């Protein structure tokens, strides 16, 4: 049986949900990551940045867009010593500006993903996976990148059966 890592970036606090700003106690992507762990086991790892994004949702989107334009690689709060023991990496994130947050690039570029299976999943409010699958393939050319799962953020808490079925097919 393969060893599984579920690495994810998730935003708590102000989020865009069904056309308005809502305050979330737990980020949508974290909710889905926990569903995946419950379904297939594995270790959870939260990707978190040293420099925090603005609490205000609109300001956060501006910061995220600036990071994307600059191809920034924000420093993370912590890193795994290695991912060598993992065969399968579920990578979760909100879809920001058509791709994953730049912190996910920081995470992926730190490790040797050759021979790993990367299984992306994202939460969104209309953009689906955007171009993130293509970007992961470009960032990790020696990994096998499977088709991702996109879950509307507003439906994250009700997505357990969908996430479980997809995760079990992906391992």
Tokens of residue 153, six digits? 């953020």
Q: How far is residue 128's CA from residue 130's CA, in Å, rounded to a whole number? A: 5
Question: Mind listing the pLDDT tens digit for each residue in 15-54?
Answer: 988 889 999 999 999 999 999 999 999 999 999 999 999 9
For residue 130, name the pLDDT band (cuts at 50, 70, 90).
Answer: very high
Position of tokens 């086991």? 41
Average pLDDT, the chain: 96
The per-residue pLDDT for range 83-106, each reduced to its tens digit, is 999 999 999 999 999 999 999 999
**Residue whose entry in the numeric block shows the structure tokens 């209309």:** 126
* Residue 1: predicted pLDDT: 52
Helix (H) or strand (E) holding 83: none
Fold of 4-170: Rossmann fold (3.40.50)
Confidence of residue 2 (pLDDT cuts 50, 70, 90): confident
Collapsed DSSP state (helix, strand, coil) of residue 89: strand
pTM exceeds 0.85 for this model? yes
């Amino acid at each position: 049986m393969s060893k599984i890592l579920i690495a994810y970036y998730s935003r708590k606090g102000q989020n865009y949900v069904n056309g308005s700003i809502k305050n979330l106690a737990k980020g949508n992507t974290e909710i889905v990551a926990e569903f995946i762990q419950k379904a297939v086991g594995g270790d959870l790892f939260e990707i978190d940045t040293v420099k925090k994004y603005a609490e205000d949702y609109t300001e956060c989107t501006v910061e995220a867009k600036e990071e994307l334009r600059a191809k920034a690689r924000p420093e993370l709060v912590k890193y795994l010593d290695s991912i060598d023991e993992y065969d399968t990496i579920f990578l979760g994130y909100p879809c920001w500006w058509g791709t994953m947050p730049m912190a996910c690039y920081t995470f992926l570029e730190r490790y040797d993903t050759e021979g790993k299976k990367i299984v992306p999943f994202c939460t969104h409010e209309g953009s689906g996976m955007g171009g993130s699958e293509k970007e992961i393939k470009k960032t990790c050319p020696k990994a096998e990148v499977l088709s991702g799962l996109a879950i509307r953020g507003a439906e994250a808490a009700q997505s357990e059966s969908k996430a479980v079925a997809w995760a079990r097919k992906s391992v």
